[in-house]
Amino acid sequence: MHIALVTCQSLAQYAAPTVDDEDALLLRYLRDKGHVVTAEIWSDPAVDWLAYDRVVLKSPWDYFDRVQEFYTWLDQLETSGVPLLNPVARVRWNSDKKYLAEIEQAGARIVPTHWLTRGARVEPDELFAALGTDHLIVKPAISGGAKNTFALTRAEAQSAIERLQPLLYEEDFLAQPFLSQIQTAGEWSFIYLGGQFSHCVLKTPKSGDFRVQHYLGGNIEPRTAPAHLLITADQLVAKFAPDCLYARVDGVEVQGELLLMELELIEPFLYLASAEGALARYEEALQRAMAGNAK
């Protein structure tokens, strides 16, 4: 089979000297295993997607900057009958963080969230009161890579409104309490391949920051998954991503429980170089997905 491994025009802003080029690593591994794989830019109009038997999302890290174009591309793939991994329906659902509300309604614990609808006025005092905090995180409902993400104390809130309010006129946002556990204990990422747990890492921000992304100075440490947190991650993937080639559960431990921050099903970094056998498990999951998803 001919596989398209989907990326974007440039990954340069997400590079870090301490982290392997995961796309190149995966591409090389799959080719060494005999797969015919070509890296393709999802937004390139010259690509003939019908030439591929499977299209695998890997790093379309600009989709949230041009989301309507991305949705149109998904529609075109679906209409043409070219199988996308992960499935188109899951990707659409996962593109807007309102999916967190659905997960919460199903009984899972998420970071407490207040939704800010496009066009609404930002009222900081109301947000602080509603979430019972003196420190907020405010970010777009469709976003990635900490784009347009604000960390606000009561003292900083009013001045930040000048930058935040024009953005809210353009799109939906959400507000959450800042969790100090991210700075003190870190954020967990549990990686699943073919619905099965593969490996896990603990991410911590650099001193004075709250963002854990490696290209923003965050630290990544391979860890053995804590059993009591893994149970929750297993349940989330089984319920919300059972048909996915890959999934990443991001969360923070609060009072012994995993609070979900994100269920990443579109373009998560999978830390494949951090765990022995992870590339092999990815390839095995891909084989199973291709066998069960005939064109």
The C-alpha atoms of residue 145 and residue 213 are separated, in whole angstroms, by 7
Q: Which domains does the chain have, with CATH numbers?
A: 2-95 (3.40.50.20), 114-177 (3.30.1490.20), 181-283 (3.30.470.20)
Structure tokens belonging to residue 287: 């084989």
**pLDDT at residue 181 above 90?**
no
Backbone angles phi, psi at 40, to 5 degrees: -135, 145
Does the pLDDT at position 213 exceed 80? no
Q: Using alpha carbons, select from 57, 19, 3 the residue that is nearest to residue 265.
A: 57
Q: Is pLDDT of 215 > 60?
A: no
Residue-wise pLDDT for 9-63, tens only, equals 887 666 555 567 899 999 999 999 999 999 999 999 999 999 999 999 999 999 9
pTM of the predicted protein model: 0.92
Type of residue numbered 225: A
Asked whether the beta carbons of 203 and 191 are under 8 A apart, the reply is no
